[in-house]
Amino acid sequence: MRSIAAILVRFVLALALAVLLAEAGREAVASWVARSGSLDALRRAERWDPANPEWPARYARTIAAEHPDADPPEAASAFRRAVELGPHRAENWAALGQALDLEGDAAGATRAYERALGIFPRSPDINWEYANFLMREGDAAKAMAPLRAAIAGDPALRTGAFDLAWRGGISREAILEILPARQDVLSAYLDYLDATGRLDAAAGAWKRQLERPEPFDLDAAERYFDALLYAHRVEELAPVWAALARHDPERVHWEPGGAERISNGGFEEDAPNGGFGWRLTPIEGAEASIESEVSRKGARALAVHFDGTRNLDFGHALEYAAVEPDTPYEFVAYTRCEEITTDSGPRIAVYDAYDHAALWVETENLTGTTRWQRQVLDFRTGPNTRLIAVQVVRTPSRKIDNKIGGTMWLDGVSLTAAR
């Protein structure tokens, strides 16, 4: 009896192994047949491996990709076979939803999308596809939840989701409500509003960011400041930068309304490259940076190194400052030069940020080698001047020997209302 039982066990195991080998063989043959990726090859692969949902799904996706004018029911039929064979694959249910939508079966598409999200509720891609479908169906209220999931789950989908919400007529207040309360999401939305010129709505997004305790994306905050700057919304600049300084005092140091209008005039802090701070931008032929090798007072100063290779039009060290209209001011700065070449050296210009005719004054031309020199500019702001720029500038020389070299240092910059 034991020998018969042992024989039966071996027979069952052998049979199971044969079935597994046959299955593996069919899968291998199907994969080999489908290697070209053509519709005919995928059909033949499905015949070889009929229990595998991959083949009808690939067939339907190939139709959509290579034959966009094909009959939608053919793709829908293939995806139906795929979900029947693999009912727990969310991506196939979502693809069936797309096919049924193209077929004009909105109710069927809704059921397919909801089945897909029942399997994979946090999928950013499926939520994004479903939100688009709902928007096309005119159901903006129902689209808000999948939009939120798409925004939260994939940064690459955010701009498209923001745009879809606006184009779908969702109110700015409702959009803010669906956004996850995270600085990365709110910063991306602020960037979107800046780029699309929706600065009134951006004020609401900015307020929402200020309510969050975590650190700002400082670059996004600076882009918002610049969007207001370029839109001439001067009255909003100081409140925005002051709010950022209160929220993030370790990175932004600024106090509005004081007698001193220049921020970090001694260059003891790093340049934020935005807001009411020094902006140092690179250019071939020169480098502006805050350095500790030379200073008049304190530990550091601004240095502008010209490498002698170009006849530069330079203006790559700048700071904006808020001022009062029709008010006398005194600007003071200290400069030092070392071997500044050409007849056209650097200067410091102070001017109305929007109207140079209303205000433009500048220091003398700085050339050669000098010790620290005090530069003073007395001026009155124009009747509408509320924002000025302080900038290190150099105009190109018209002479043959025109490639500027050498170094200029700047320290002790100050701007106060004249007494």
For residue 199, what pLDDT is reported?
Answer: 96
For residue 87, what pLDDT is reported?
Answer: 77
For residue 17, what pLDDT is reported?
Answer: 43
Q: Which amino acid is at 333?
A: A
- The sheet with strand 405-417 has its strands ordered as 286-291, 301-307, 405-417, 328-340, 368-380
For residue 79, what pLDDT is reported?
Answer: 67
H-only helix segments in 86-168: 90-103, 106-119, 124-136, 140-153, 158-167
Angle (nearest 5°) at CA 250 between 244 and 251:
60
What is the distance between the alpha carbons of residues 224 and 238, in angstroms, rounded to a whole number?
A: 12
For residue 358, what pLDDT is reported?
Answer: 96
For residue 99, what pLDDT is reported?
Answer: 78
For the chain, give the number of residues. Answer: 419
pLDDT in tens, the chain (419 residues): 556 665 555 554 544 444 334 444 545 544 554 555 555 555 565 555 554 556 555 655 666 555 555 556 666 666 677 666 667 888 888 888 887 887 888 999 999 999 999 999 999 999 999 999 999 999 999 999 999 999 999 999 999 999 999 999 999 999 999 999 899 999 999 999 999 999 999 999 999 999 988 888 999 999 999 999 999 999 999 999 999 999 988 888 888 778 899 999 999 999 999 999 999 999 999 999 999 999 999 999 999 999 999 999 999 999 999 999 999 999 999 999 999 999 999 999 999 999 999 999 999 999 999 999 999 999 999 999 999 999 999 999 999 999 999 999 999 999 999 87
**Radius of gyration of the chain from its Cα atoms, rounded to whole angstroms:** 33
Angle between helices 54-66 and 72-85 (to 10 degrees): 160
What is the distance between the alpha carbons of residues 173 and 5, in angstroms, rounded to a whole number?
A: 75
For residue 75, what pLDDT is reported?
Answer: 66
CA 126 to chain centre: 23
List b or e across 26-63, with b for residues whose CB sees 16 or more CB atoms inside 10 angstroms.
bbeebeebbeeeebebbebbbebbeebbbbbbbbbbbb
Full set of structural domains in the chain with CATH = 2-181 (1.25.40.10), 182-256 (no CATH), 279-417 (2.60.120.260)
The three-state secondary structure class of 145 is helix
For residue 76, what pLDDT is reported?
Answer: 66
The DSSP result for 251-304, as a single string, is T----TT-S---SSTT--S---SSTTS-EE--BTTEEEEEESSS-SSSS-EEEE
For residue 20, what pLDDT is reported?
Answer: 39
For residue 72, what pLDDT is reported?
Answer: 62
Contacts of 414 (CB under 8 A, 6+ apart): 260, 262, 265, 330, 331, 332, 333
For residue 70, what pLDDT is reported?
Answer: 55
- Type and span of the H or E element at 415: strand 405-417
Contacts 24+ apart (CB under 8 A), 60-66: 60/95, 60/99, 61/95, 62/37, 62/38, 63/39, 64/98, 64/99, 66/39
Q: Which residue has the tokens 């900015």?
A: 206
- The sheet with strand 314-322 has its strands ordered as 279-280, 314-322, 387-394, 347-352, 360-362
What is the distance between the alpha carbons of residues 323 and 350, in angstroms, rounded to a whole number?
A: 12
For residue 257, what pLDDT is reported?
Answer: 74
pTM reported for the whole predicted model? 0.81
